[in-house]
């Protein structure tokens, strides 16, 4: 095989673009249901819509077989509370989440997930994903139900989070989509939504896209459309050479679904909620270092002298055994688990954890750095389920961590795994591999389309699915389940919906906008410079602390970037064109976050939201959602109660609303 250096040395030039370039070619594709984004939510939406009789088309920037945050796998599945061993009901779980979030989450989404999460997982099992210990490898373990062979994480008493062998989950979904005849358009980046008459706020009738290999332009016409484009991993930081492997967010996530929905006039909520950028990729490869979070929950940690760090329940009782770390305390109904899009937990639902004053105890010399994970101190089955089953199936860890470490000789039966050496404060959060938090880096955390009990957005014909485009969305299993529900509802809507008619003027305007970067002078900036500039504006003007002035400055800077650098940005091939268009979407998402931050004139613990000019925390008059949208390109904000989903036109009961809408 010729290396890059050898090739350039020999030929004296860089290789030609390997695909035919056809910017002028336009393709028109018609479907009942169009899915934007082929992550787990989009793929499951496609399967569900097709099973409900719809002609389905799915578009994906990458390749849907492995794309998205869940493309490399999953080791635990949240929200399947109707599994036969669970002691938690859909109502218990939904209320726990809503109480923890102080109402700033999505009760509709949670209840749907709880009602259908287990059925969705069973569907994955039918498609070839192992969800039970069929080989009896963990027979007799505390976390295994001996009858069903299901295995559980976090809370061994209440059994609502399942451990699964999900390394092949995306290929299984992909195969099923193919079997069902879904039209899959890989390498096609969606750039805009099409609306009836080209009007903002009107019914959505399709979308436009660009093929990032050939540059061909696509006009997708659809009766119903589902936004399943994930989050915006490149909004607050951009350094792909460093962070691509380490980030918890997909680098393809550039908030396109949010941006095109906003431009089309859909309503969004909670865009002001950003979270600490702990997992933005500036630490270490996910799960590569000692920690006790998530996959590694319960792992014993020792200091450099072999002294073990104590574990406590949320009420301050020391937990002496490994098993106790996986059991709720007597004061708790159940423990929720992390990674479900919740940024604040009440004591009655939070997980057991390492001693919470660890930073102080490191600073005063009681525990000496470095720290190490000592899996040898766990019972054998606990050890093997973590470093083996879970690390072997978790996203991004099967090859780089499990395989590589094992080949290099790491043996959890006798070796220790080191934690990163960081400033003492960084040990406050047990997810040590995230590295030392960088205070000005944030990430989107919960903002998205306002949806109804059909998971329909405020625009007719447009639905949302997945962890990010829906407000208050969460994790892997939840994304599948939301996709499955939205796919079904979109297919049902499409059965009686009018034929989609696209507005040619809207298409031509979008084509002109999308093609501008290929017609620019080569002196223009490149997409990476533009992305970095956007991230810097977000860090500086919309970080953890902000005020009216910083937000207005930030909006002005984004506008200037749009009117100057973005107008001259140059794309030398279809790939760069796709990335450039994503950057234009990122700018829009940045504006959405700043506009939402301006609208909330208070600070909030639950939203991790700090306005220096409005320091009062959670004053009662601000306990509400602030849906925002564009009308004639002007931002309109209204107020909505936090429990709007249980108020007219809906009923006051979760179960009744679900019953009225789910079919
Ligand atoms: C390392 C890692 C480990 C994780 N482990 C777990 C776990 O064990 N349990 C758990 O519950 N959760 C876990 N998660 C989170 C979980 O994977 C995500 O919540 C889930 O995969 C989100 O799925 P999604 O389909 O909503 O979004 P995404 O996975 O982000 O998919 C969105 C898709 O849309 C595509 N796309 C974006 N823009 C466009 C566009 N303009 N045009 C076309 N396509 C576009 C993207 O390429 C992507 O494929 C983990 C995440 C990571 C990164």
Per residue in 125-169, pLDDT tens? 999 999 999 999 999 999 999 999 999 999 999 999 999 999 999
Rg (CA), the chain: 24
Which ligand 1 atom minimizes the distance to the CA of 247? 53
- First-to-last C-alpha distance (Å) of the chain: 55
Residue closest via CA to ligand 1's atom 53 equals: 248
Residue closest via CA to ligand 1's atom 45 equals: 37
Q: What's the DSSP call for residue 452?
A: -
The answer to whether 613 touches 548, Cβ cutoff 8 Å, is yes
- Amino acid 251: pLDDT: 76
What is the C-alpha to C-alpha distance for residues 645 and 423, in angstroms, rounded to an integer?
Answer: 43
- Give the E-state strand segments of 187-251 in sequence order: 188-195, 204-211, 217-227
Residue closest via CA to ligand 1's atom 48 equals: 68
Q: Kindly report the CATH number that applies to the domain delimited by 513-630.
A: 1.20.58.100
- Amino acid 484: pLDDT: 98
What is the C-alpha to C-alpha distance for residues 587 and 157, in angstroms, rounded to an integer?
Answer: 46
What is the C-alpha to C-alpha distance for residues 475 and 497, in angstroms, rounded to an integer?
Answer: 31
Give me the DSSP letters along 128-165: T-B-S-TT-TTTT-TTB-TTT--BB-S-TTT--SEE-B
Per residue in 519-577, pLDDT tens? 998 888 999 999 999 999 999 999 999 999 999 999 999 999 999 999 999 999 999 99
- Amino acid 285: pLDDT: 87
Mutation to probe ligand 1, out of 75, 151, 395, 487 (largest number of atoms < 8 A from CB) = 395
Which ligand 1 atom minimizes the distance to the CA of 286? 1
What is the four-CA torsion angle of 187, 75, 450, 580, rounded to 10 degrees?
-30
pTM value > 0.95: yes
Q: What angle do CA 324, 159, 150 make, to 5 degrees?
A: 115
Beta bridge partner(s), residue 625: 640
Q: What are the residues whose beta carbons fall under 8 Å from the beta carbon of 462, sequence distance 6 or more?
A: 193, 204, 224, 225, 226, 227, 261, 264, 266, 449, 456
Mutation to probe ligand 1, out of 71, 229, 588 (largest number of atoms < 8 A from CB) = 229
Name residues of the chain where pLDDT drops below 50.
none
What is the C-alpha to C-alpha distance for residues 636 and 624, in angstroms, rounded to an integer?
Answer: 16
| 3-state secondary structure labels for all residues of 242-287 | HHCCCCCCCCCCCCHHHHHHHHHCCCEECCCCEEECCCCCCCCCCC
What are the residue ranges of CATH 1.20.58.100 in the chain?
513-630
Type and span of the H or E element at 117: helix 107-127
Ligand 1 centroid vs 68 CA: distance in angstroms? 4
What is the C-alpha to C-alpha distance for residues 424 and 564, in angstroms, rounded to an integer?
Answer: 43
What is the C-alpha to C-alpha distance for residues 93 and 270, in angstroms, rounded to an integer?
Answer: 21
Ligand 1 centroid vs 247 CA: distance in angstroms? 12
User: Strand pairing of 183-186 and 56-60?
Assistant: parallel
Q: What angle do CA 238, 239, 240 make, to 5 degrees?
A: 105
What is the C-alpha to C-alpha distance for residues 593 and 538, in angstroms, rounded to an integer?
Answer: 9
Ligand 1 centroid vs 37 CA: distance in angstroms? 10
Ligand 1 centroid vs 77 CA: distance in angstroms? 14
- Amino acid 523: pLDDT: 87
Which ranges of 448-543 does DSSP label H, i.e. alpha helix? 476-496, 504-519, 527-541
Which protein residues are within 6 Å of ligand 1, measured from CB?
36-42, 59-62, 67-70, 74-76, 78, 189-190, 228-231, 248, 250, 252-253, 256, 286, 339, 394-396, 466-468, 475-477, 479
What is the C-alpha to C-alpha distance for residues 10 and 397, in angstroms, rounded to an integer?
Answer: 37
- Nearest alpha-carbon partner for 464 in 120, 70, 39, 69: 39
Ligand 1 centroid vs 341 CA: distance in angstroms? 13
């Amino acid at each position: 095989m010729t290396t890059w250096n050898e090739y350039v040395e020999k030929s004296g030039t860089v290789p030609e673009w390997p695909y035919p370039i056809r910017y002028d070619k336009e393709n028109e594709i018609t479907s009942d249901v169009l899915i934007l984004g082929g992550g787990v939510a989009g793929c499951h939406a496609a399967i569900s819509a097709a099973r409900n009789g719809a002609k389905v088309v799915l578009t994906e920037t990458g390749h849907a077989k492995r794309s998205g945050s869940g493309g490399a796998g999953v080791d635990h599945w949240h929200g399947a509370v109707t599994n036969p061993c669970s002691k938690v009901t859909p109502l218990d779980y939904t209320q726990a989440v809503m109480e923890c979030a102080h109402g700033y989450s999505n009760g509709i989404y949670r209840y749907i997930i709880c009602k259908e999460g287990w059925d969705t997982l069973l569907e994955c099992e039918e498609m070839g994903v192992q969800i039970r210990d069929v080989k009896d490898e963990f027979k007799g373990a505390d976390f295994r139900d001996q009858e069903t062979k299901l295995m559980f994480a976090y809370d061994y008493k209440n059994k609502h989070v399942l451990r699964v062998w999900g390394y092949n989950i995306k290929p299984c979904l992909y195969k099923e989509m193919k079997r069902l005849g879904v039209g899959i358009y890989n390498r096609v980046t969606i750039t805009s939504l099409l609306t009836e008459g080209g009007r903002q706020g009107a019914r959505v009738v399709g979308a436009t896209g660009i093929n990032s290999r050939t540059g061909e332009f696509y006009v997708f016409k659809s009766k119903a459309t589902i936004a399943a484009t994930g989050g915006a991993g490149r909004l607050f930081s951009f350094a792909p050479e460093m962070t691509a492997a380490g980030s918890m967010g997909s680098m393809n996530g550039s908030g396109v679904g949010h941006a095109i929905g906003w431009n089309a006039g859909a309503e969004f909520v909670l865009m002001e909620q950003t979270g600490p950028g702990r997992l933005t990729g500036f630490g270490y490869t996910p799960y590569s270092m000692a920690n006790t979070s998530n996959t590694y929950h319960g792992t014993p940690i020792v200091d450099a002298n072999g002294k073990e760090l104590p574990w406590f329940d949320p009420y301050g009782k020391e937990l002496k055994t490994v098993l106790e770390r996986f059991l709720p305390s007597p004061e708790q109904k159940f423990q929720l688990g992390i990674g479900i899009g919740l940024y604040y937990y009440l004591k009655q639902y939070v997980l057991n954890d390492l001693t919470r004053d660890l930073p102080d105890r490191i600073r005063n010399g009681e525990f000496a750095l470095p720290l190490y994970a000592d899996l040898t101190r766990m019972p054998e089955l606990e050890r093997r389920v973590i470093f083996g089953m879970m690390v072997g199936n978790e996203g991004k860890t099967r090859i780089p961590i499990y395989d590589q470490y094992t080949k290099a000789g790491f043996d959890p039966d006798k070796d220790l795994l080191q934690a990163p050496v960081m400033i003492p404060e960084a040990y406050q959060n047990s997810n040590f591999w995230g590295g030392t938090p960088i205070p000005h880096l944030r990430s989107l955390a919960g903002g998205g389309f306002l949806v109804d009990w059909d998971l329909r957005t405020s625009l007719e014909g447009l639905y949302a699915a997945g962890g990010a485009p829906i407000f208050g969305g969460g994790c892997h299993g939840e994304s599948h389940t939301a996709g499955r529900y939205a796919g079904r509802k979109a297919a049902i809507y499409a059965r009686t919906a009018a034929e989609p008619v696209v507005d040619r003027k809207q298409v031509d305007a979008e084509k002109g906008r999308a093609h501008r970067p290929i017609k620019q002078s080569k002196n223009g900036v490149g997409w990476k410079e533009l992305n970095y500039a956007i991230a810097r504006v977000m860090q500086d003007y919309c970080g953890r602390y902000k005020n009216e002035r910083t937000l207005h400055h930030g909006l002005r800077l984004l506008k200037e970037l749009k009117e100057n650098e973005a107008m001259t940005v140059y794309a030398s091939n279809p790939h760069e064109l796709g990335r450039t268009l994503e950057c234009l979407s990122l700018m829009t998402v940045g504006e959405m976050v700043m506009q939402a931050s301006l609208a909330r004139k208070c600070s909030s613990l639950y939203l991790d939201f700090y306005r220096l000019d409005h320091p009062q925390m959670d004053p009662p008059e601000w306990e509400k959602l602030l849906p925002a949208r564009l009308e004639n390109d002007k931002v309109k904000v209204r107020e909505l109660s936090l429990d709007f989903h249980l108020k007219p036109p809906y009923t006051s009961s979760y179960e009744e609303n679900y019953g009225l809408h789910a079919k």
